[in-house]
Amino acid sequence: MFIFRKTHPLVKIVNSSLIDLPTPANLSLNWNYGFLMGLVLLIQILTGILLATRYSAHADLAFNSIIYLVQDSNNGWLLRLLHSTGATFFFILIYLHIGRGLYYGSFILREVWTIGVVLLFLLVITAFLGYVLPWGQISYWGATVITNFVRAVPYIGTLVTEWIWGGYSVGNPTLTRFFTIHYLLPFVMLFITILHLFFLHIRGSSNPLGLRRNTYKVPFHVYYVIKDLLVIFIFIFIFMFVTLHFGYNLIDAENFIPSNPLVTPIHIQPEWYFLFTYAILRSIPNKLGGVFLIASAFLVLFLFRVNRKIHLFRGFQYFPFTRFIYWRLVRVFLLLTWLGSCPAESPYV
């Protein structure tokens, strides 16, 4: 058994990053979203590794391997529901995390904000690739629709699309490479998350008052360790309750039907966390314009910290007008999400 002295480098790192870290004393529950996302990421990695031991990344076997996992494997149904529900909670938390960052001006922390937006992009890609893997009707046709958007890129669109497919349509090569990338990206996200925390500890956390200097600070331990443990217990209870009672409600019913390239589902729609982008896409008659606006909906987050000296405000909470803009943004996001769930017909277009 090894006993580390206080002068040991590992002990110094733990003390400086977790125990003695100076933390603002006025942090609220809104500052727990990032920590909970790290917990969900670990759940996703663990359940994903266990699911991969039973999954067959082949167009003829993928759907049946999922059925075998759920019906015949010990606790396989629980692993699948934990993984699918984890994706839902991940997006809920990251949207709340970004909303809190915008409202309280966390984009002042330039490196932390930029790495966080990169994590959002990686999460979107990982979630899309994972949605294709069950190889049901929505999975197949969703992959077909989304990858076809690459064709809108001038000159190289068709070539890149066929390279992604591994042929002239979505098929077995597409599924194989999607599974490989989906398996690897969470580990990349874990590394970037550690980088995110590294810069956060260097720059220091933001706070509800938006003060950057002369802020009263307390050690992270014991004050916030106890608070985080309480939040963990509450979150796990809610997470397991939703998983066990409403897990299958979060999965599209069409995805319980094996993929059939000859039959197109009547209403193809993505998961709820992509519905706002789907509403933006179908509101533009031009395919390239729709793809550009979807990319802009995410890339606009980079503009808050393009330059250290160029920003209009430190957060949306400081003035009544900027607060009005923020809550209008939230209302537009919710409205677009609802419109994306409606059929692509009048008056919802």
Phi, psi of 136 (to 5 degrees): -90, -170
Q: Which residue has the higher pLDDT, 210 or 295?
A: 295
Is residue 37 in a domain? Answer: yes
Query: pLDDT tens-digit profile of 327-344?
Result: 999 999 999 999 988 887
pTM of the predicted structure, to 2 decimals: 0.89
Specify whether 201 is catalytic: yes
pLDDT category, 313, cuts 50, 70, 90? low
- pLDDT in the model for residue 17: 53
Is 325 among the domain residues?
no
Determine which one of 201, 217, 221, 287 is catalytic: 201
Query: Which of 73, 228, 287, 341 does the annotation list as catalytic?
Result: 228
Given the residues 205, 206, 252, 259, the one annotated as active site: 205
103 domain-assigned: yes
Q: Would you call 205 a catalytic residue per the annotation?
A: yes
Average confidence (pLDDT) over 239-266: 90
User: Given a cut of 90, is residue 315 above it in pLDDT?
Assistant: no
Compute the average pLDDT of residues 22-33: 85
pLDDT of residue 4: 47
Band the pLDDT of 9: cuts 50, 70, 90: low
In a domain, 42, yes or no: yes
Q: Which of 131-140, 229-238, 264-273, 292-301 has the lowest mean pLDDT?
A: 264-273
The answer as to whether 183 is a domain residue is yes
> Per-residue confidence at 269, pLDDT binned at 50, 70, 90?
confident
84 is catalytic: no
Neighbours of 319 (CB within 10 A): 11
Per-residue pLDDT tens over the stretch 210-228: 666 656 888 888 888 888 8
Select from 58, 52, 46, 42 the least CA-distant residue to 73: 52
| 252 confidence band (pLDDT: 50, 70, 90) | confident
Interval 34-61: pLDDT, tens: 999 999 999 999 999 999 999 999 999 9
Q: Which structural domain range is residue 152 located in?
A: 22-268
228 catalytic? Reply is yes
Mean pLDDT across 232-242: 95
Structure tokens that stand for 36 in this block: 């909970």
Q: Which pLDDT band, with edges at 50, 70 and 90, does 5 fall under?
A: low
Name the most confidently modeled range: 136-150, 175-189, 267-281, 333-347: 175-189
Active-site position among 58, 221, 227, 287: 227
pLDDT band at 12 (very low <50, low <70, confident <90, very high): very low
Average per-residue pLDDT for the chain = 86
Q: Write down the pLDDT at residue 19.
A: 66
The total domain count for the chain is: 1
Which amino acid makes up residue 18?
L
What is the pLDDT at residue 14?
47
Active site residue 271: yes
**Digit-coded pLDDT (tens) for 156-207:** 888 999 999 988 889 999 999 999 999 999 999 999 999 999 888 887 788 8
pLDDT at 214: 58
b/e 143-177 (16+ beta carbons within 10 angstroms → b): bbbbbebbbeeeeebeeebeebbbeeebebebbeb
**323 belongs to a structural domain:** no
Whole-number Cα distances in Å, 324 to 106, 174, 188, 316, 329: 18, 45, 37, 9, 9
Residue 54 lies in a domain: yes
Residue 35 in any domain: the answer is: yes
CATH at residue 56: 1.20.810.10
Other C-beta atoms lying within 10 Å of the C-beta of residue 344:
14
